[in-house]
Amino acid sequence: MKNGIHPKYHTEGIVCTTCGTHWKIGSTRPNMRVEICSNCHPFYTGEQRIVDTAGQVDRFMRRLSAAQDRQATIEKQRNARNEPAPKKSLLKEIYGDEA
């Protein structure tokens, strides 16, 4: 092996930022980090929890509730527009409410 041409070999390993698990591996990069690993990923753990590191779930839930509110408003307007007008009695129109 020639001296001075190979990159430095680090043995610190990988760290999971979610659960803090450390793996000892060899790499040319120091201090590698991952957001999710097999110890905390829902597929491997069998838990039904949402791992949201970037706030994507909150953003989606806000957009979903806004869309549902908009749909409810449109449905109310559509129902109000399609309701038949109340029929007025000819007698009430001529004589008023006294009849």
pLDDT number for residue 76: 93
Specify if 96 maps to a domain: no
pLDDT number for residue 55: 82
Domain of 73 in residue numbering reads as 54-80
Specify if 86 maps to a domain: no
Q: Specify which residues 34 forms β-bridges with.
A: 16
**Token pair 């000819």 in the structure block, residue:** 90
CATH code of 2's domain: 4.10.80.400
| Residues of the chain predicted below pLDDT 50 | 99
pLDDT number for residue 49: 67
Alpha helix stretches (DSSP H) within the chain: 42-45, 56-82, 90-95
Same domain, residue pair 61 and 43: no
Q: Name the domain count of the chain.
A: 2
pLDDT number for residue 67: 96
Specify if 65 maps to a domain: yes
Same domain, residue pair 10 and 30: yes
The amino acid at residue 9 is Y
